[in-house]
Amino acid sequence: MPVVRSVSPQRPKDIVVSIDAATNDGVALAAQAARSAQADWAAAPPANRANALHAAAEAVAGAAAELADLAVREVGKPIAEARGEVARTVAILRYYAQQVFDPTGAVHEPGAGVGIAYTRRRPRGIAGLVTPWNFPFAIPLWKAAPALAFGNAVLLKPAPQATACALRLAELIGPQLPRGLFTVLPGDAETGQAVVAAADVVSFTGSTTAGAAVAAAATARGVPVQCEMGGQNPAIVLPDADVAVVARQVAYAAFGYAGQKCTATKRVIVVGDPTALTDALVAEVEKLPCGDPAEPDTVVGPVIDDAARARVLDAAVSAVSAGATSATAGRCRPATAGTRCRRWSPACPRAICCTMRRSSGRSAR
């Protein structure tokens, strides 16, 4: 049986969790239990669902410090960001606990002026959720909380690198809900495919390649599907911008959490001469604290795994080969002596500042 093994990115010898992956049969059993629980959950008074979600929020809030530490350990998220994510997760649960009382339909003026026309939204059944590692608490709950609030059951397949975080969420939230209503199914791509195949509605956040496959599989079954596969996030700097403010904000937006966010700034497009901003940005990047994500001042921690490390190096080499001029010197900082480096200083190839000639003029990025 395949095993899911999650290791700490800053200390790769630290195995955070090792657990059997959910098999196709295991997913089928979870789906059967979810479907059984969902019917009564959907029929329950809204106040019952609200109370359960409020209880879930209190359970997560009570474990906030533990969860933040777990995110630091398992996915290398800087502690300040980890604490913020846990707080946001609690807020998400509380928000949807109240939204269950919102109208579930609308009355419309009939076209012929006779009778009554109305719409009513109903739960789909089982929501199959496939989530990434970089926001191991907030993104699963962004998806699960509204699904649960409006009467659905949830099957959650987390990224393997965030398995421990998802399992701990289930331990906290599961007891507040009917048995079988919220199930975490650790595994790889095969497990994710089984979850998508079992679901009545699908929500995915992750890579473009995986998202395209999820969308195709759900569409082939006629199942509603939502896929979020990253962003380009350019920062456009106009001539009257305050260069110092822009440089400070872009440095953090691009390189905080080692740039491992779909919302990270990917490009900076400067209208006019980019020299002043390039110089200011280099200075701000080099000031970003890089180190152990458990330290309160750390902004740039480790990349998640060796595959990410390889992409960082390849991106730097490719940029220079394409004509970029490196404005900073990358430095690798191993967490411990003798370990393979995953912790780059803010002046690393991932955080490269360069100028390149574009057909439309010059830009700093």
pLDDT digits (tens, 9 = 90+) for 226-261: 999 987 789 999 999 999 999 999 999 999 999 999
Higher pLDDT, 266 or 74: 74
For residues 211 and 238, state if they share a domain: no
- 19 has pLDDT over 50: yes
CATH number of the domain that residue 357 is part of:
3.40.309.10
Catalytic (active site) residue 228: yes
For residues 134 and 39, state if they share a domain: yes
- 329 has pLDDT over 60: no
Q: What is the pLDDT of residue 310?
A: 87
Cβ-contact 25, 33 below 8 angstroms: no
For residues 331 and 200, state if they share a domain: no
For residues 123 and 253, state if they share a domain: no
Q: Which of 262, 286, 295, 341 does the annotation list as catalytic?
A: 262
Buried/exposed code over 155-188 (b: 16+ C-beta within 10 A; e: otherwise)? bbbbbbbbbbbbbbbbebbbebbbebbbbbbbbe
Q: What is the pLDDT of residue 311?
A: 86
**Of 195, 228, 261, which closes a domain?**
228
3-state DSSP assignment of residue 265: coil
Q: How far apart are CA 155 and CA 176, in angstroms?
A: 16
pLDDT digits (tens, 9 = 90+) for 335-360: 554 445 555 554 433 334 555 443 33
Mean pLDDT of all residues in 133-142: 98
Q: What is the pLDDT of residue 343?
A: 57
Number of domains in the chain: 2
For residues 40 and 119, state if they share a domain: yes
Which residues span the domain enclosing 164? 3-228
Q: Which of 228, 286, 295, 332 does the annotation list as catalytic?
A: 228
Q: How far apart are CA 306 and CA 42, in angstroms?
A: 44
Higher pLDDT, 328 or 26: 26
Q: What is the pLDDT of residue 324?
A: 72
For residues 276 and 212, state if they share a domain: no
pLDDT digits (tens, 9 = 90+) for 276-325: 999 999 999 999 999 999 999 999 999 999 998 888 888 778 877 877 77
For residues 74 and 191, state if they share a domain: yes
**Of 212, 228, 244, which closes a domain?**
228
Cβ-contact 239, 275 below 8 angstroms: no
Higher pLDDT, 108 or 173: 173
Question: For 6, which DSSP code?
Answer: E
Q: How far apart are CA 184 and CA 60, in angstroms?
A: 16
Higher pLDDT, 111 or 359: 111
Q: What is the pLDDT of residue 79?
A: 98
For residues 104 and 143, state if they share a domain: yes
pLDDT digits (tens, 9 = 90+) for 31-88: 999 999 999 999 999 999 999 999 999 999 999 999 999 999 999 999 999 999 999 9
Instruction: Provide the β-strand partners of residue 134.
Output: none
The model's confidence at residue 363, banded by pLDDT at 50, 70 and 90, is very low
* Mean pLDDT (the chain, rounded): 90
Overall size of the chain counted in residues: 365
Going 195 to 201 to 203 to 208, the CA torsion angle's sign is positive
The model's confidence at residue 159, banded by pLDDT at 50, 70 and 90, is very high
**Of 167, 200, 228, which closes a domain?**
228
Residues near 335 by Cβ (< 8 Å), separated by ≥ 6? 10, 11, 292, 302, 342, 343
Maximal CA-CA distance, the chain? 79
CA distances from 282 to 94, 118, 330, 361 (A): 41, 58, 12, 20
For residues 238 and 354, state if they share a domain: yes
pLDDT digits (tens, 9 = 90+) for 184-229: 999 999 999 999 999 999 999 999 999 999 999 999 999 999 999 9
CATH number of the domain that residue 78 is part of:
3.40.605.10
For residues 41 and 156, state if they share a domain: yes
The model's confidence at residue 333, banded by pLDDT at 50, 70 and 90, is low
Burial of 310 (0-12, 13-18, 19+ CB in 10 A): exposed
Catalytic (active site) residue 109: no
For residues 83 and 184, state if they share a domain: yes
The least confident of 80-94, 114-128, 275-289, 322-336 is: 322-336
For residues 145 and 163, state if they share a domain: yes
Q: What is the pLDDT of residue 331?
A: 57
The model's confidence at residue 365, banded by pLDDT at 50, 70 and 90, is very low
